[in-house]
Amino acid sequence: MLVPTDGSDCARAALETGVDVAREEAAGLHLLSVVDVTSLGADVRVQMQVQFLEENATEIVEDATAFATDASVEPVSGLVALGTSIHGEILSYIDEHDVDLIVVGTHGRTGFDRYMLGSVTEKLVRTSPIPVLTVRPAKAEA
């Protein structure tokens, strides 16, 4: 099972659902955070921005891995990928790994140092060769 994450509240809800399903099914859990480098432009400070985003994504994946491990999910693996398409990186990941289900939040973070998951979720639902379970944020967050 794969849970792509950007650290947003909605991604956290997807992580919690993914952990519950993985524990119930005794399934392994893959955690993936993708840094979209195309949104950074051609500024001379791009390398510093990429490093910052990569460090942030690494922290998100480490926190998610700890959460899943604390919930007795085994095995758990985490990866940060750099790419030009979040959707494409997720599809490549499922193609390269033994993934049977994607659990993803319905939308993610936005802004300069964050990237949208909403459009990614829509593309995954339309093009994924495996089932995609979408998770909405709790009503208090909506």
Domain count, the chain: 1
Note whether residue 43 is domain-resident.
Answer: yes
Note whether residue 141 is domain-resident.
Answer: no
Please name the residues in contact with 70: beta carbons below 8 A apart, sequence gap of 6 or more.
none
| Structural tokens at position 130 | 């495996």
Q: Among candidates 7, 63, 16, which has minimal Cα distance to 35?
A: 7
| Structural tokens at position 84 | 């030009």
Which residue type occupies 92?
A: S
pLDDT of residue 115: 42
Note whether residue 85 is domain-resident.
Answer: yes
Domain around 62: 6-135
The answer to whether the CB of 86 falls within 8 A of the CB of 32 is: no
Note whether residue 82 is domain-resident.
Answer: yes
Helix-helix angle 46-70:9-25, to 10 degrees = 40
Which residue type occupies 130?
A: I
Please name the residues in contact with 87: beta carbons below 8 A apart, sequence gap of 6 or more.
119, 120, 123, 124, 127
**pLDDT tens for each residue of 44-101:** 566 777 888 899 999 999 999 999 999 999 999 999 999 989 999 999 999 999 899 9
**Backbone φ and ψ of 91, nearest 5°:** -65, -40
Average confidence score pLDDT of the chain: 86
Which residue, chain included where needed, has tokens 């998951």?
A: 117
Note whether residue 142 is domain-resident.
Answer: no
Mean pLDDT computed over 125-131: 95
Note whether residue 140 is domain-resident.
Answer: no
The answer to whether the CB of 54 falls within 8 A of the CB of 35 is: yes
**Whether residue 111 has pLDDT greater than 50:** no
Range in 3-7, 18-22, 108-112 the model is least confident about: 108-112
Q: Give the CATH number, domain containing residue 121.
A: 3.40.50.620
